[in-house]
Amino acid sequence: MTSLRERMQEDLKLKNYSAKTATAYLDGVRHFAHFHWRSPADMGEREIRDFLLDLSLRQQSASVLKMHVAALKFLYNTTLRRPEEVAWLPWPKVPRRLPVILSTEEVNALLSAVEPLLHKAVIMTAYGIGLRICEACALQVKDIDGKRGLIHVRDGKRARDRYVMLPVRLRDFLREYFRQVRPAGPYLFAGQKPSRPIQPHTIRAALNKGLRKAGIKKRVTFHMLRHAFATHLLEAGTDIRVIQTLLGHGSIRTTARYTHVSSRHVASVQSPLDALEPREVRKPK
């Protein structure tokens, strides 16, 4: 399995998969090999089917099952060059649940509760411009263009760069942050070593602490700040294609789900019942 793992690692690098995705795929193939105690090179459709059925019977989540399917498809399509072994393999149906959305009042309370200044700066930046946690942590000082009012987001999902706006409140806050912290390295939000960015797990811990301090009972993850950013923009009347560009979505369908969670948009829709002409209600005899 060692040489096969190395080949798969090389293929993942050649296709420029992210480190996170590569690790997940390699772990998925390792689980498959350990399940049968054989090299995947010596197995095929029957063993793949038995492995995935076992995952389903053990009631693994749809997202976990999908990750293993993706890993096996990559292994047999690309590394082993035996696509016939996975040609039959369907993608599991993953339920699409609506995200929990923080109100503007809750976001304001959260930002007031988060400390120290460094952690607050990361979380405010992420909400203010709709960043993923890895994008927020990786921002560099040179990415902030105060004169043009822009922030350069580098190496987003699928290695896409994009520009987003620099809100006035965030600009002023970052100036104060920079005055007090004085980042010594290239990263705007440095970790313990100035040459390395702050780690996502540190920010997640700060977020959870801030949520408790603010008294917010909702089950909130860092990514929900991004959901809140998109929903609040939509409710303020921002065009959905502008929101798509700001979020770095490849498809408008991904952005369109925020129309389902915007309470203001849903509440403003007129039911066809209200368009009917009123009729006199007859009293029962």
Per-residue pLDDT of the chain (285 residues; tens, 9 = 90+): 569 999 999 999 999 888 889 999 999 999 999 999 999 999 999 999 999 999 999 888 888 999 999 999 999 999 999 999 999 999 988 777 777 889 999 999 999 999 999 999 999 999 999 999 999 999 999 999 988 999 999 876 766 789 999 999 999 999 999 999 988 889 999 998 889 999 999 999 999 999 999 999 998 999 999 999 998 998 888 888 898 989 988 888 888 777 766 666 556 666 666 667 666 656 665
Residues 40 and 68 in one domain: yes
Residues 115 and 252 in one domain: yes
Please indicate, yes or no, if residue 52 is contained in any of the structural domains: yes
The overall pTM is greater than 0.75? no
Residues 6+ apart with CB under 8 A from 135: 126, 153, 155, 156
- Supply 49's token pair: 């089917």
Residues 160 and 257 in one domain: yes
Collapsed DSSP state (helix, strand, coil) of residue 29: helix
Residues 135 and 205 in one domain: yes
Please indicate, yes or no, if residue 274 is contained in any of the structural domains: no
Please indicate, yes or no, if residue 195 is contained in any of the structural domains: yes
For 24, the enclosing helix (H) or strand (E) is helix 19-36
Residue identified by tokens 């290239």 is 186
φ, ψ dihedrals at 227, nearest 5°: -60, -45
Residues 15 and 77 in one domain: yes
Instruction: Report the domain count for the chain.
Output: 2
State the Cα–Cα distance between residues 136 and 191, nearest whole angstrom: 13
Q: Could you give the residue numbers annotated as active site? A: 132, 157, 223, 226, 249, 258
Please indicate, yes or no, if residue 282 is contained in any of the structural domains: no
Please indicate, yes or no, if residue 119 is contained in any of the structural domains: yes
Please indicate, yes or no, if residue 91 is contained in any of the structural domains: no
Q: Domain residues for 170?
A: 104-267
